A and B are shown apart, each in its own frame.
Chain A
Amino acid sequence: MNKVLLQVEDLRTYFFTRKGVVKAVDGISFYVREGETFGIAGESGCGKTVTGLSILRLLPEPGGQIVGGNIILDGTNLMELDKKEMRKYRGRMISMILQDPMTSLNPVYTIGDQIAESVRLRHDLPDNMVEPEVISALRLLNIPSPETILQQYPFQLSGGMRQRVVGAIAMSCRPRLLIADEPTTALDATIQAQYLALFKDVQKKTNVAIIFITHDFGVIADMCHRVAVMYAGKIVETATTKAIFNEPKHPYTSALINSVPRLERKDTRLYSIKGQPPSLVNLPAGCRFAPRCPVAKTVCREQEPPEVDIGDGHSVSCWRVR
């Protein structure tokens, strides 16, 4: 087993708005090992992106604030670092890929300039050393003819190629942890398959740990070793990918998996979860999923369920699992 690279303990990230306190992430704990891909799955508004941003301490200010918890990366608690020290970690140790490659690249700079920017910021390299670094970053992401691409602008590239460039920027300083936030949602099916295969390849070459944030269970099944399922700011279940699909314990997890149509079979009717996720300003008492849960009991509506470890790294927060 590889050693644990990142340990998140009881992380709480709140947004202080005029309408009230939005508890976007409300006490979550997980760890990621070196060379492992850890998935965070959930619907929009469940707090998965905020989790990623919290690890980088890049929350929108004012408003967003980490109000509690620890983020320990390779023995250092990121919560104890000041702003200047934190900057050294971003890019060098942790980097992030965002969903939309159209908006994460600057349209008026060439690809070469944009990768060089991150290479320069982090390595203090002499000028003649920058270009080889940039080219090796492009090579790592399997970008054909990197010397030509260097001179091009984002609009000259296709969506898939742009997302590879974003990946090259993220990997240019050989980080140990990569946070990928829905990196394939904007891509077409066959291009998505290419990109995911590429990620596995990059991970094999660099042993980078990846946190894969997605709502797509197909991507989870394909990419992740372990998964955490989030609902309304909490992790409801953590397990290996296989266990999540084969023996989901939390009613939300199984409902979510059953509501996705499968290509391998003909469904006559899809299972659908009634209602919508709760407002994060005004959370229900007890289990947050209780109002939509088909098997909720009285206790579910009164008390929050504790996280129970059922063995093999499988933990569930549900009153029905003891």
Chain B
Amino acid sequence: MADILLEGRELKKYYPVNRGILQRTVGWVRAVDGISFTIERGKTMSLVGESGAGKTTTAKAILLLERLTSGTILFEGKELSHFSSSQLKTEYRPRLGSVQQNPWSSMNPRMKVRDIVAEPLVVNTKQKKAQIRSRVAELLEEVGLNPDQVENYPHEFSGGQRQRIAVARALALNPSLVVLDEPVSALDVSIRAQIMNLLKDLQQQHNLSYLVIAHNLATVRYMSHSVAIMYLGQIVEYGEAEALFKRPLHPYTKALISASVLTLPEDGDQETKQIILSGEMPSPMNPPPGCRFHTRCPEASAACSQEVPPLRKVGAGHYVACNRV
């Protein structure tokens, strides 16, 4: 049996849309609309999708930065709603770390690296200064930075080094789960590989679970054990990474993969058999009826605009929400 660290059940997050002088609620943006997933201990799960798909909202809900409209999060089998607020602060939140996309905006430019990395320790523990100092040095070493640089400020580091600092900060409290929101997309190509390799090494050393949010499928395949493809607040395909990439079933997954596969120009012929979707993702305020993807789906039939496809099991740990599969 898989060792499940965190489970989300039917998570929903709706944001009200207020208009007029009285700020009456005229509609809801369904950012996340009923998604379920599990994250195993020591494994990586990725949420993939285009902007507006609800990936970051899901991550924020897990980090308690957003209050869910409905749904349950279970951490090590215990429902978060049964935790008191002080328990959340002491028993749940310190077990989570997070790394943001942009290492230029995720750090206070006036704080020294020492203080940036030490902050979680100062806030959450009662460790002595000397203890904190040695822990910071240990963390920096672990992410491949020189501990002598603790007195420097973030602007003295390159993008890749800053992302290492962010990783060190996320690991400060020995978390079980680290939320990585587009961890490499702001970095240069040659630096991305360094950071991805570092994250993989750290995962093995500490048996960490990762929740990765990404739009680049190649990155996702390299990092993940399981993948959830999101479209307009819902999961359209979910499964073990290798199975999903080898045999994608949902037309949206197929299109995403087709857009990310590196196709070499063949002799004299640059035409490729790419799937190019028409149109754009509809507004999450007013999602289309039936399958939400039917407006852009190259395989859609008349039934797709009426029937909402449930997420069905199609293989070992492989789920798809499509009427045609």
Which positions in A face B, CB cutoff 8 Å? 43-44, 158-161, 188-194, 197, 200, 215, 217-218, 221-222, 225, 241-242, 245-246, 255-256, 259-264, 266-267, 269-273, 276-277
The interface bits of chain B over 176-201 (1 if a CB of A lies within 8 angstroms of the residue's CB, else 0) are 00000000000011111110110010
Q: Contact check: which of B50, B190, B242, B262 meets A221 at CB < 8 Å?
A: B262
Q: How far is the CB of B47 from chain A (nearest CB, A)?
A: 14
A222 surroundings in chain B (CB, below 8 A): 263, 272
Most buried by A among B189, B219, B261, B280: B189
Given A43-B189, A197-B276: A264 and B261 within 8 A (CB)? Answer: yes
Contacts of B105 in A (CB 8 A): none
A273 touching B193 by the CB < 8 A rule? yes
Total chain B interface residues with beta-carbon distance under 8 A: 44
The answer to whether A245 and B264 touch (CB under 8 A), given A43-B188, A193-B258, is yes
Task: Give Cα A264 to B258, complex, Å.
Answer: 10
Chain A residues lying within 8 Å of B217, measured Cβ to Cβ, are 189, 263
Chain B residues, Cβ within 8 Å of A246: 264
Binding site for A on B (CB under 8 A): 50-51, 158, 160, 188-194, 196-197, 200, 215-219, 221-222, 242, 245, 255-265, 267, 270, 272, 274-278, 280-281
Residues in A neighbouring B245, C-beta threshold 8 A:
263
* Contact, CB under 8 Å: A260 / B197: no
Query: What is the CB-to-nearest-CB distance from A226 to chain B, in angstroms, rounded to a whole number?
Result: 10
- Shortest C-beta distance, A157 to chain B (Å), equals 10
**CB-CB < 8 A to A263: which residues of B?**
217-218, 221, 245, 257, 260-262
A-B contacts at CB below 8 angstroms, number: 115
Please state if B196 and A261 are interface contacts (CB–CB under 8 Å). Answer: yes
Q: Is the CB of A189 within 8 A of B215?
A: yes
Closest B-chain residue to A43, C-beta based? B188
A200 to B51, CA, bound (A): 25
> Min CB distance, A283 to chain B, in Å?
17
Closest to B266 in A: A242
CA distance A192 to B51 in the complex (A): 13
Given known A43-B190, A266-B221, A266-B242, contact A197–B264 (CB-CB < 8 A): no
Report B-chain residues with C-beta under 8 Å of the C-beta of A190.
50, 255-256, 259, 276-277
Q: Which of B197, B263, B277 contacts A272 (CB 8 A)?
A: B197
CB distance from B215 to the nearest CB of A (A): 6
Chain A residues, Cβ within 8 Å of B258: 193
Whether the pair A259, B190 counts as a contact (CB closer than 8 A) is yes
Residue of A nearest to B158 (CB): A276
Nearest neighbor of A255 in chain B, beta-carbon distance: B190
B160:A242 contact, CB within 8 angstroms? no
List 8 A-B pairs, minimum CB-CB distance, nearest first.
A188-B50, A272-B193, A259-B193, A261-B222, A270-B193, A193-B259, A43-B188, A273-B190
Q: Which residue of B lies closest to A185 (CB)?
A: B185
The answer on a CB contact under 8 Å between A272 and B256 is no
Chain A residues near B200: list those with CB within 8 A: 269
In the bound complex, CA of A194 to CA of B258 (Å)? 12
Q: Using Cβ atoms and an 8 Å threshold, which residues of chain B touch A269?
A: 197, 200
Contact B262 A188 (CB under 8 A): no
24 contacts between A and B (CB under 8 A): A159-B51, A161-B280, A190-B256, A190-B259, A191-B50, A193-B259, A193-B275, A215-B188, A218-B260, A218-B262, A221-B263, A221-B264, A225-B270, A255-B190, A256-B189, A259-B193, A260-B189, A260-B192, A263-B217, A269-B197, A269-B200, A270-B197, A272-B193, A277-B190
Distance (Å) between the CB of A268 and the closest chain B CB?
Answer: 9
Q: Which residues of B contact A161 (CB under 8 A)?
A: 280
Choose from A188, A245, A272 the contact partner of B215 (Cβ within 8 Å): A188
Considering only CB atoms, which chain B residue lies closest to A263 in the complex?
Answer: B218
Q: Nearest Cβ in chain A — how far from B274, in angstroms?
A: 6
